[in-house]
Chains A and B, each alone.
Chain A
Amino acid sequence: MLEGAEFYFNVDHGYLEGLVRGCKASLLTQQDYINLVQCETLEDVKIHLQTTDYGNFLANETNPLTVSKIDTEMRKKLCREFEYFRNHSLEPLSTFFTYMTCSYMIDNVILLMNGALQKKSVKEILVKCHPLGRFTEMEAVNIAETPSDLFNAVLVETPLAPFFQDCMSENTLDELNIELLRNKLYKSYLEAFYKFCKNHGDVTAEIMCPILEFEADRRAFIITLNSFGTELSKDDRETLYPTCGKLYPEGLRLLAQAEDFDQMRRVAEHYGVYKPLFEAVGDGSGGKTLEDVFYEHEVQMNVLAFNRQFHYGVFYAYAKLKEQEMRNIVWIAECISQRHRTKINSYIPIL
């Protein structure tokens, strides 16, 4: 691929880049967050959100307003914007958008499988699925009993098909196997997305590859942290780590042997990027958790993506920043509805 995106990027993608930058400018500001934090009830939150780019998105909601409804409506709004971008995109940006939706599709598939395990009706779960990950074969997911079943009967025509190579097995899908399936699918997806961006080259690769490397490493750390004290074996754990990050291969091997948080921290200290992140983690219930620190780092990387032009990373970064904004609003709303305001300022402002 010839370098020099500034010569030809705008022909196919200039309109959409302009649009996404406009959308990014309408993300909530620090002042908006200060106003939200001072609300007393969810109705106040709704009123304050009307003054932002969200507008009257909750106008059709019946009483009483719940945090779940706010979250659903925010997701629908993001989906509308995303669908507009997607409908106006040309290749290879369209493939890039498809890759972006795959992570939501994986979440939806897992949600449907868990629902089948709990004997819930498909309709009930379909309503709560992430709109960005919608695909036509969704309703049939719950009939599958094993991963091979799932692939052959349901997902073979979807964009998720290529990610099933390591996941084929005849084990019935109980909770452990569903968790393994989720993580293996995500690992294949991330590695494929990384390869796509790297092969594309140019500014897109320069922006997206570090972001995806961080995502891979973050997943490795979080899987390790959450697997302490569970029935997941160390070998199984190692098969879930995505290999497209900085930790591959030595870091991942060390991480697979870690048995507590301090051992994990020692692995992270070998890497210049991750050492300060682990140092920022507070201990006990007082300070930040590892997930908070990772979210902050992700927000920083996504904001920096907007400093370069003529690359696809702006779309990915906008979607992720919007998601963080939704997490912030849901967090503030939960603190308000539970009247537990001590940690209400733990949101991550997007500057």
Chain B
Amino acid sequence: MAAPGLRAQMDSLLLQLLRDLEELEAKRAALNARVEEGWFSLSKARYAMGAKSVGPLQYASRMEPQVCVYTSEAQDGLQKVWVVRASAQTPEEVGPREAALRRRKGLSRTPEPESSPAPRDPLNWFGILVPHSLRHAQASFREGLQLAADMASLQIRIDWGQSQLRGLQEKLKQLEPQSA
């Protein structure tokens, strides 16, 4: 009979859904905690450095992102969300160019036409010698980013799980009146 099989499927799907929801709640709480920690560490940095030294004056209105979001299809057709560091392009022609670079060292610095400059650490917007609270803030926000990506993947899975469950319920309804 198809119905018990369907019911078993529904049960396992429901359990998976509930597990995912629990994980999502935990990740959400962790994200909130990280973000709060990050902002609080920024306040501590402001206490040590001066209130105007850590604020909108220190960053440009247009920024190069350090981290990119990618999506990929997993085997079960679900999309997964990744957070990936935007790394600098590896210069393939470093060999023959080195001699040119060495020659230039003695002269005044001319801006080199690089294809993509190494991404600068946003920590350096606030200076080189920054207090540790600022580094903590950066670490907290970075962890929060990873959590946000995980939460997005989980959310996609939960939505998919819900639609699957609804589909199975429909099928079950169709089967029940037939068997009755």
Q: A interface vs B, CB < 8 Å? A: 67-68, 71, 107, 111, 114-115, 118-120, 124-125, 128, 130, 170-172, 175-176, 178-179, 182-183, 222-223, 225-227, 230-232, 285, 289, 291, 326-327, 330-331, 334-335, 338, 340, 343
Contacts and interface: CB of A to CB of B under 8 A. Distances in A.
B131 interface: yes
B75 interface: no
B129 A179 contact: yes
29 contacts: A71-B51, A107-B50, A114-B125, A114-B127, A118-B57, A125-B57, A128-B57, A130-B52, A171-B109, A175-B120, A175-B127, A178-B127, A182-B127, A183-B129, A223-B129, A226-B129, A227-B129, A230-B129, A231-B128, A289-B44, A289-B48, A289-B131, A289-B133, A326-B51, A327-B51, A330-B46, A330-B51, A335-B43, A343-B40
Interface residues of B, number: 31
Contact of B52 (A71, A171, A223, A226): A71
A330 B124 contact: no
Nearest to B123: A230
B127 A179 contact: yes
B129 A115 contact: no
B102 to A, nearest CB: 19
B23 interface: no
A268 to B, nearest CB: 17
Contacts of B59: 118
A338 B40 contact: yes
Contacts of B129: 179, 183, 222-223, 226-227, 230, 232
Nearest to B48: A291
Given A326-B51, A331-B43, 13 more contacts: A111-B53, A118-B125, A119-B61, A128-B55, A130-B52, A178-B127, A182-B127, A232-B128, A289-B133, A334-B43, A335-B43, A338-B39, A340-B39
A338 B46 CA distance: 14
User: Lowest 7 A-B CB distances belong to which pairs?
Assistant: A226-B129, A179-B128, A118-B60, A334-B43, A71-B51, A291-B48, A175-B124
A60 B75 CA distance: 61
A223 B125 CA distance: 17
Nearest to A129: B52
Contacts of B78: none
Contact of A331 (B47, B52, B108): B47
Given A115-B57, A120-B60, A226 B131 contact: yes
A327 B47 contact: yes
A343 B50 CA distance: 18
The A interface is mostly helix, strand or loop, or mixed, namely helix
A125 B58 CA distance: 10
B20 to A, nearest CB: 30
B18 to A, nearest CB: 31
A327 B53 CA distance: 13
B109 to A, nearest CB: 6
B128 A176 contact: yes
A125 B55 CA distance: 11
B25 interface: no
Contacts of A114: 57-58, 125, 127
Nearest to B41: A285
Contacts of A289: 44, 48, 131-133
A172 B109 CA distance: 8
Nearest to A335: B43
A120 B128 contact: no
Nearest to B129: A226
Q: Which of B57, B109, B131 has the most CB of A within 10 A?
A: B57
Contacts of A176: 128
A118 B108 contact: no
B175 interface: no
B36 interface: yes
Nearest to A114: B58
B130 interface: yes
Contacts of A170: 108
A120 B57 contact: yes
A170 to B, nearest CB: 7
A335 B46 CA distance: 12
B135 to A, nearest CB: 8
Given A179-B127, A231-B128, A291-B131, A334 B46 contact: yes
A67 B46 CA distance: 11
B57 A124 contact: yes
A340 B131 contact: no
A119 B136 CA distance: 27
